[in-house]
Amino acid sequence: MFFSEADIQTLLLSVKLATVVTVILLILGTPIAWWLSQTRSRFKGVVSSIVALPLVLPPTVLGFYLLLAMGPNGLFGQLTQWLGLGTLPFTFEGLVVASVFYSLPFVVQPIQNAIEALGQRPVEVAASLGASPLDTFFTVVLPLAKPGFITAGILGFAHTIGEFGVILMIGGNIPEETRVISIQIYNHVESMNYAEAHKLAVTMVVFSFAVLLTIYTVTRRAAHNTQIHDP
């Protein structure tokens, strides 16, 4: 067998985590991206900075404060305990919450950029024809900005797969619960089992290349279609 049973478990857990996080991010990130693309509020800069913070903040710093917030004495931790959910650190659910925060800009920004690239003309035309804002979004904005949503989904999934610092701070290294592929590579290297680490690392390299190639292809096709439809 190319991968050991333990490695397969980490791969499956990583895919499960990335899938759940990506779905949540698309649901939460889309209205944020829509608001940022449409608003003229003076708070736009503040909200944009908060969304983009994980891009510049060290993962261990973000993980540390999330650990405090979700711990038994943290505000979020007290809320989850009051709801009967216990505390989230060192659980799969805790990884999901932390990953949503950490990967948020990788989903919001591509969607925001795609919507902003459309301009206001399609929205104004739809409004003049009597379409509600919700109808306008689903029948006009969403189809036209589809490449941005595809890119956002791919980036959110890939970024979650490759997480390490936040995962280690929030989830630790619990088999079948929080031990994802990045943690497993670290385990192999720490135990000097370079052959197994190499297998997983090569898998990540191939996966990362495929992600970048897919994004490039989607972007190129979107640009080509735009040129064709331009008068």
pLDDT score at 68? 92
Q: What contacts 110, CB < 8 A, 6 or more positions away?
A: 148, 149, 151, 152, 155
The predicted-structure confidence for 60-114, as pLDDT tens digits, reads as follows: 899 999 999 999 998 999 999 998 888 899 999 999 999 999 999 999 999 999 9
Give the pLDDT band of residue 225 (cuts 50, 70, 90).
low
pLDDT score at 123? 78
Predicted TM-score (pTM) of the model is 0.87
Mean pLDDT across 15-41: 93
Q: How far apart are CA 44 and CA 42, in angstroms?
A: 5
CATH number attached to the domain at 5-229: 1.10.3720.10
Domain boundaries, the chain: 5-229
Q: Where are the alpha helices (DSSP H) in 85-180?
A: 92-118, 121-128, 133-136, 142-144, 146-161, 165-171
The predicted-structure confidence for 167-205, as pLDDT tens digits, reads as follows: 989 988 888 888 999 999 999 998 999 888 888 899 889
Q: How far apart are the first and last CA of the chain?
A: 56
From its phi and psi, is residue 58 left (phi > 0), alpha (psi between -120 and 50) or beta? beta
